Amino acid sequence: CEIAELNENDIVFDECCGTAGFLVSAMNYMLEKAGNDSEKKKKIKSSQLLGIETRSDMFSHACSNMMMRGDGKSHILYGDCFKEENKDIIKRQKPTKAFLNPPYQDGNAAEQLEFIENALDCLVKDGICIAICQKSTTVSSSKSVINVKERLLQEHTLEATFSMPDELFHPVGVNTSILVFKAKNKHSGRKTFFGY
């Protein structure tokens, strides 16, 4: 939330929302920013949190998780985030921020980057996408990864990359990076922050 400079007017999207952890965090952060404005708080809960989940068990958990926190109305879709009809529903809401943790599998760095590319496509111009991915998305030299990286940088700006501590997902042992993109701004000639 802090990296994205999230505020009470943002519309937050997570296309692989799992149990809706990112959406819950965003909601709590935005509610705090709204202060004593009860109408704004109602709007945040009812229309500024969007998600998609493809696994039926996770979808049920996400909806329950949001409802238990009083989200007012769940805007979590059950289905494939790459399907155009789902993307169209999300795009009509004009999301300004995307938070995601793409599914991890061995050797799927290109697929993780495709999730980021898909989320960026759904954001408004200058929207911010923050994704926590396997470190291989940043360091792999495989042809498939390079192809997706080139497509991403043709359309979007890589604002920052943070290498996360190796013990972050202990005991699983997945090495991760956080990638921060600005939507619909070609990367050409821009600087990127790299940090640990």
Q: Which residues contact 68 (CB under 8 A, 6 or more apart)?
A: none
What's the pLDDT at 170?
A: 65
Share of the chain above pLDDT 70, in %: 94
What's the pLDDT at 75?
A: 85
Of 4-18, 132-146, 167-181, highest mean pLDDT: 4-18
Phi and psi dihedrals of 131, rounded to 5?
-130, 135
- Owner of token pair 């999301």: 95
The pLDDT tens digits of the residues spanning 31-54 come to 999 999 999 999 998 899 999 998
Separation of alpha carbons 39 and 59, rounded Å: 28
The pLDDT tens digits of the residues spanning 51-104 come to 999 888 888 888 887 777 776 556 889 999 999 999 999 999 999 999 999 988
Separation of alpha carbons 45 and 28, rounded Å: 10
What's the pLDDT at 69?
A: 72
> Average of pLDDT values for 135-154?
91
What integer best gives the mean pLDDT of the chain? 90
The pLDDT tens digits of the residues spanning 9-28 come to 999 999 999 888 899 999 99
What's the pLDDT at 81?
A: 95
Amino acid letter, residue 164: M
Q: What is the DSSP string of the chain?
A: -TTTT--TT--EEETT-TTTHHHHHHHHHHHHHHTT-HHHHHHHHHHSEEEEE-SHHHHHHHHHHHHHTT-SS--EEES-TTSHHHHHHHHHT---EEEE-PPP-TT-HHHHHHHHHHHHHHSPTT-EEEEEEETHHHH---HHHHHHHHHHHHHSEEEEEEEPPGGGGTTT---EEEEEEETT---TT---EEE-
What's the pLDDT at 171?
A: 67
What's the pLDDT at 63?
A: 80
